[in-house]
Amino acid sequence: MSLSLLSMITVNGSVAVDTVRLGLESDSARWFSVVKYSGYAVALGCALEAPETFHILKRWWLLRFRGENREESINEKRSWLVPAAAAGLLAIVLGIFLETYAEGRVSDLDAQLRAHESDKITAAESDASEAKTRAAKLETSNKQLGIELEKSKAENLAKERELDAAQRKTAEVQKSAAAAFTVFVRRTGERLLNIEKFAKEMKPFPRKDVEIWYTDDDPEAKKFAEDVWAGALNAWGRPVPTLRVRKPFDMVCNQIEGGQPGITVIAHDSSGYTGTNSFGVTLARNLLVFPPTWVGTPCDKLPVNKIIVNIGVRDRM
């Protein structure tokens, strides 16, 4: 059974089969087959009647034009042509009856099919009209949304400008506050470390075993040493940095003398305190005020991954 184009309906991108139309087409095809075979039956009946009709015409011809009145012989009366002609006549009658009835059914089904197609077309036209109406409404709504969007963009732009102005004012205030704070800290001599920034910059560097010394009787040195310890801990975690009081006779390659001021960074070689990515330079770079005096010195007796930071007395203004 072939599917016509009208029997396929697209719904949401998928193909749906029109079962009503397919049913009507199937019934119409079946009754058309009855019409066809009824015609064959009529033709067969005519063929069966042909011999008998030929004999009747032959006798009529002889009687009409030759004057011979030829009666049927006993063999002609017993011939199978007689029942064949009767069967042919019956086939003709039944064939004509069935053909007439089947043609009526085909006509009725065609009428139902046309009515169904008309209903589908009407429904499709109605859906198209509704879709067109919805599209017009949607277009109007989109235009309105576009106008509102432009207004919103203008309002946002104005707010962004106000925010930029406020941020600039805030930055100026913060800059002034930072300058005032720097002056205050420099006057007091406090050493302050930006712990978060120091830890963030140190995190990607190779881990080091850090040991931090400070003078026991210097609270400022102790506090600053604690800041350095917290920065190293936040950057690497393990090994946990060591924080302790510098003992009077702590000596590493004779590098630290009692009362040495500022910051001393001792490493196996100069890579621990020179270069942008070294511990010493990163420490100095993240001081919140101008860096105090600090020195870096090598000591080949230390392991490669070992760094000692001695926090001496602070610089005096």
Which pLDDT tens digits describe the chain residue by residue (317 residues)? 444 544 555 444 455 677 887 887 788 788 888 877 777 777 777 776 777 777 777 777 766 777 776 676 676 667 676 676 677 777 777 778 777 887 777 788 788 878 888 888 888 888 888 898 889 888 888 888 888 888 888 888 888 888 888 888 888 777 765 555 554 454 456 778 888 888 888 888 887 888 888 877 888 888 888 888 888 888 887 777 888 887 766 666 766 655 567 788 888 887 777 777 778 787 777 776 555 567 787 888 888 888 888 877 776 54
What is the distance between the alpha carbons of residues 259 and 17, in angstroms, rounded to a whole number? 97
| 77's tokens | 């009366």
Q: Residue 59: exposed, middle, or buried by beta-carbon count in 10 A (0-12, 13-18, 19+)?
A: middle
Number of Cβ atoms within 10 Å of the Cβ of 305: 14
The answer to whether the beta carbons of residues 96 and 38 sit under 8 Å apart is yes
| 62's tokens | 């002889």
The answer to whether the beta carbons of residues 214 and 192 sit under 8 Å apart is no
C-alpha angle 184-189-194 in degrees, rounded to nearest 5:
80
Q: Is 0.75 surpassed by the pTM of this model?
A: no
What is the distance between the alpha carbons of residues 16 and 231, in angstroms, rounded to a whole number? 69
Cα torsion for 147, 148, 150, 153, to the nearest 10°?
180
Sole residue written with tokens 């760094």: 307
The answer to whether the beta carbons of residues 220 and 315 sit under 8 Å apart is no
What is the distance between the alpha carbons of residues 286 and 296, in angstroms, rounded to a whole number? 16
| 141's tokens | 């709504």
User: In Å, what is the CA distance from 125 to each residue of 4, 112, 130, 139?
Assistant: 20, 20, 9, 21
